[in-house]
Amino acid sequence: MFTPDQARLAHELTTLAAISDAPPPAVTRVVFTDTDLRARTFLKGLCVDAGLVVREDAVGNLFARWVGSAPDVPAVATGSHIDAIPNAGRFDGTVGVLGGLEALRTLAREGFRPARSIELIMFTAEEPTRFGIGCLGSRLLSGALDESAGARLKGPDGRSLDEVRRAAGFDGSLSSVRLPQDSYAAFVELHIEQGPLLEQRGVPIGLVTAIAAPAGLRIVIEGEGGHAGAVLMPDRRDAFLAAAEIALAVEAAARSTGSADTVGTVGVCEVFPGAVNSVPSRARIEVDVRDIDEARRDTVLAKIAAATDQIAARRRVSATTETLNADPPARSAPSIVDAVEAACLERGVTVDRMISRAYHDTLFMARIAPAGMVFIPCRGGVSHRPDEHASPEAIALGTAVLAGTLARLSRAGT
């Protein structure tokens, strides 16, 4: 039975959390900022110290491999992300990276020797903050995003992904990021639940059977600006007010399915020129819609599109919608579900099957490998907030289950 070094792992999570652009307890770590690069250096150092063979690809995905006794057969992989949205907590993603690393160290410390190589992956930009779409690294790696679409991505500052990644030291063609289908025999991601169910049920481990289908839209509204005192109300073509109505239409569309599984959010609204005494001439909103049922998610997107047209016409503004992503859901592979369940059984740990409403790099790894996820509880189900919390005990248990799962998978079928 594997016993992770709980204190060391907690300490490493604390050290990583301090590499942040927001004051503690908040964490902000946006991809390819100096802060992100410092965090990567910290992680790379830990991987090298652990004796892993480290490689980075052209978009900054980091691979740290423990070479097995059968190095030529497809490896088993685990991992997650270390980027964090603005004003985030310290456990989203990091638990799967540092916990994944500790799982490998635990196995080595306890004398386990893998047949298949075991690889830790730190994926670039799981969060959509900078380039508008989430899971940038795993999308490219799995072929879900091709080189030309990747090259078209730009951040809010107008700088392209290519420019920013090269400035961060990641050269080479984006096409080189894509991995062949048979690169991995298995992929398992450890993550906090980001929801309340495990805590409410008093169950320490969640076994993810499917990941909900996410979609993202960027809507740019162009109206007419002017003096806030001088332009009379009947003459206005206020871009922000159209955006506000569209945001309410997103809420109405998400609620209209009558299912708690449909969610819609407008988390970004930028108003130009952003002066209190100026009628907004332009507004940009970003919309996030998800459902475990892809067809139902698409009906919500269609309702948002119809409402946007109608609101724009009535308010005499133009609205341009860009679909940033509209991904299908992913199902966990039976082989991974069985391995996680067996690892839990071996430890006498209770496990509940569940759906992930958040997306994860597993959504894309599932396209190129049998994949699945292990969840641990987080306090109150809170995530994407500075008060996000998972206990050191819960993290260590998740890491132990991950270690047991990787051990099984790295023996299987070799």
Residue 100 binds to ligand GLV (criterion: CB under 6 A):
no
User: Shortest approach of Mn ion to residue 383 CB, angstroms?
Assistant: 7
Q: Which residue is nearest to ligand GLV (CB)?
A: 358
- Does 358 help bind ligand GLV (rule: CB under 6 A)? yes
CB of 359 to ligand GLV, least distance (A): 4
Q: Interface with ligand GLV includes 361 (CB under 6 A)? A: no
Q: What is the DSSP letter of 92?
A: T
Q: Round to the nearest angstrom and report the end-to-end CA distance of the chain.
A: 22
Q: Of 118, 149, 178, whose CA–CA distance to 364 is shortest?
A: 178
Q: Does the footprint of Mn ion cover residue 398 (CB under 5 A)?
A: no
Stretch that binds Mn ion, among 5-13, 93-101, 104-112, 208-216 (CB under 5 A): 93-101
Question: Are the C-beta atoms of residues 37 and 28 closer than 8 Å to each other?
Answer: no
359 binds ligand GLV (CB under 6 A): yes
Query: Least Å distance between CB 128 and ligand GLV?
Result: 7
Among 68, 134, 150, 398, contact with ligand GLV (rule: CB under 6 A): 134
- Shortest distance, CB of residue 299 to ligand GLV, whole angstroms? 21
54 sits in which H/E element: strand 53-56
Which residues, in sequence order, are CB contacts of 137 under 8 Å at separation 6+?
Answer: 59, 60, 61, 81, 123, 124, 125, 126, 177, 361
Please report how close the Cβ of residue 212 comes to ligand GLV at its closest, in angstroms: 9
Nearer to Mn ion, 170 or 359 (CB): 359
CA 250, CA 264: separation in Å to the nearest integer?
A: 6
d(CA 85, CA 133): 12
Does 189 bind ligand GLV (CB under 6 A)? Our answer is no
- CB under 5 to 8 A by kind: which of ligand GLV, Mn ion, none does 134 bind? ligand GLV
Closest distance of CB 320 from ligand GLV, Å: 24
Nearer to ligand GLV, 74 or 96 (CB): 96
As to burial, measured by CB atoms within 10 angstroms (0-12 exposed, 13-18 middle, 19+ buried), residue 231 is: middle
334 to 202, 331, 341, 408: CA distances (angstroms): 25, 9, 10, 14
Closer residue to ligand GLV (CB): 191 or 237 = 191
Q: Does 286 bind ligand GLV (CB under 6 A)?
A: no
Residue 359 contact, options Mn ion, ligand GLV, none, Cβ 5-8 Å cut-off depending on partner type: ligand GLV
Task: List the single partner that 162 binds among ligand GLV, Mn ion, none, CB under 5 to 8 Å by kind.
Answer: none
User: Which CB atom, from 263 or from 319, has the smaller least distance to Mn ion?
Assistant: 263
The residues pairing with 290 across neighbouring beta strands, listed in sequence order, are: 214, 263
- Taking Cα atoms as reference points, which of 161, 26, 36 lies closest to residue 91? 26
Q: Name the minimum Å distance from CB 325 to Mn ion.
A: 15
Q: Which long-range contacts (CB under 8 A, 24 or more apart) does 377-381 make?
A: 377/192, 377/193, 377/198, 377/199, 377/203, 377/204, 377/206, 378/91, 378/192, 378/193, 378/194, 378/199, 379/199, 380/196, 380/199, 381/193, 381/194, 381/195, 381/196, 381/197, 381/199
Report, in Å, the least distance between residue 121 CB and ligand GLV: 16
> According to the binding rule CB under 5 A, does residue 93 interact with Mn ion?
yes
SS3 state of residue 283:
strand
Interaction of residue 92 with Mn ion, rule CB under 5 A? yes
Which of 12, 36, 102, 127 is the binder for ligand GLV (CB under 6 A)? Answer: 127
- Contact residues for ligand GLV (CB under 6 A)? 127, 134, 358-359
- Contact residues for Mn ion (CB under 5 A)? 92-93
